[in-house]
Structure 1
Amino acid sequence: MAALSIIFILFFVRDLDTRVVDFDGAVTSLKQKMAPLRKHFDSSLEKVNKDISD
């Protein structure tokens, strides 16, 4: 019974590692896709702040 428990735990840890790696890859991909939009937003916000302060 202990051996079965150990096998289950090892399988769970391996599966969890795979899910974390996949999720990390998805987040990285999303950040790369959003980078141009973020730069545009930041520059536009900077321009608005400059216009308001003048």
Structure 2
Amino acid sequence: MRESHIMKIHYLTALVAVGFVIIHIMIRFTHGSFANSLEFESVIANYKSIPYAIVLEAMLI
């Protein structure tokens, strides 16, 4: 594999990661205040939402 292909893959994965972070921040802003988002019930509700849980797990990769 040529170096240019490797760099394109590297840049693409960086853009995808930034996209996931943007989605995460947008969801945080729609859930109300920051203090409410830290409550235990709110954190558990995040992981019960399958699409949002997938976004959170994808950010960890």
TM over 0.5, shorter chain = yes
What TM-score do the two structures reach when normalised by structure 2?
0.50
Alignment partner, residue 28 of structure 2: 31
Fraction of identical pairs, as percent: 8
Moved over 3 A (4+): none
Alignment partner, residue 20 of structure 1: 17
> Relative to total residues, which structure has the larger helix share, 1 or 2?
1
Number of residues paired by the alignment? 36
Gaps of at least 5 residues in structure 1 are 43-54
Which of the pair has the greater relative contact order for Cα pairs under 8 Å at 6+ separation?
Answer: 2
CA shift at 1:27, angstroms? Answer: 0.2
Q: Secondary structure at the match of 1:19?
A: helix
